[in-house]
Amino acid sequence: MTQQLDLFAGLQPSPAPPRTKTPATFTAKPNRNTAPPSPAPRPAHKQLTAPARPRTTSIHPPSNPHAQALEIGEAVAGAWNRQHGGNHIHVPIGIVAALGLIGQKDPNGPDLATQILSLNDTNLIAMYREIWSTHWAHRPDLIDRARILHEWLNDTDVDKHRISAVRAVTEAALKNGLLTLTGYTDPYLRSMTDVLSPVMMLLRSRGAQQGLGEFHTPASVAEAMAEFMGFNTLDIMMAATEAGQPQPGQHIHDPAGGSGGLLRAAAQNLREKHLDPADFQWSMCDIDEIAAACAAVNAIIWGLGPHVTVACADTLANPKAIEEAAEHARAVIEHRNTVLDKAKIIAAIRQTQRLLDQSAERAA
């Protein structure tokens, strides 16, 4: 049976190191201390003829994606708790995040969800490791920010109890239709809702939410705000130009972004205006490490493009959080480039050695 896993479903072009010093900036909410760095001038944007629409596919978008996301969150939280997964909620959130990063290679081929659920324990864990490592090679800046969601996979041996919980969460997410929300090549369809927000909120105790001051804006509320404001979500995301339209190269920022819900609504609004989110610069910050990790993954799923910076900090206490996050992202990208360059050299040496061995065998 052909494996239908498409590890590149949500990938974007590898980013250039983020820039931090530019002219003006636009923010989602007032930041009493500072504004994040603005983008460098961008080349002329490409005009989309219309928001992308789905290709022929065996999966169909749900009529109410936000309700579907909530159902997935409830199913995942229930599965994790029944398996006594404990306080390590980064594990089930990381599972849903990884599944959200993939798609099906052939829409008419064998069902991807069925194939994943048929994997044995070893191959299931190997699949999750491959998803994260593949995306790290393309977006090391965002995958590094999401480290808390996948570093548990670095353990040489994942114990049987955890594997059982991982399998239960995988089954809950897939059987409740995760791929009908995220399993598309079209970023417009992948951005119908924020799946990770309800998963995170339902797994986290009310006390923990209150302690973090964490109250996520529901996706439906963000969209209602967009409709009400006339200029749509971009009224709260950026200053309107004289023409009253967002301009490519502008910086869209949310200083208390949670898992990125307002950025999602803004990106959808741009697409509906026949603009490409990749022609804008995006940044957000959240004090919660898991929320910031989810935002980083969502930036890939939603196709925000190569110019995204996600910081984990208190923007009131650290007004340079975005600058510092951008500097760290540059270092991570440079490290990725070094690793890949070394890998290419090693591969070339091995290929040369194989050719020499083959020549020696023929000569003998």
CA angle (73, 51, 296) in 5-degree steps: 40
State yes or no: pLDDT of 212 exceeds 50: no
The tens digit of pLDDT for each residue in 5-27 reads 776 676 666 666 555 443 334 34
The alpha-carbon radius of gyration of the chain (Å, integer) is 21
104, β-bridge pairs: 5
The tens digit of pLDDT for each residue in 78-125 reads 999 999 998 999 999 999 999 999 998 887 888 999 999 999 999 999
Distance, in Å, from the CA atom of 359 to the CA atom of 364, rounded to the nearest integer, reads: 9
Q: Among 251, 213, 246, which residue's Cα sits nearest to residue 231? A: 246
The tally of CA atoms less than 13 A away on the side-chain side of residue 210 is 3
Lowest-pLDDT range of 101-110, 113-122, 342-351, 355-364 = 355-364
| pTM, two decimal places | 0.79
pLDDT computed for residue 209 by the predictor: 43
Average pLDDT value for the chain? 81
pLDDT computed for residue 355 by the predictor: 81
Q: Among 249, 71, 80, 275, which residue's Cα sits nearest to residue 162? A: 80
pLDDT computed for residue 245 by the predictor: 76
CA angle (66, 70, 72) in 5-degree steps: 115
State yes or no: pLDDT of 202 exceeds 70: yes
The tens digit of pLDDT for each residue in 154-200 reads 988 888 999 999 999 999 999 999 999 999 999 999 999 999 999 99
pLDDT computed for residue 302 by the predictor: 97
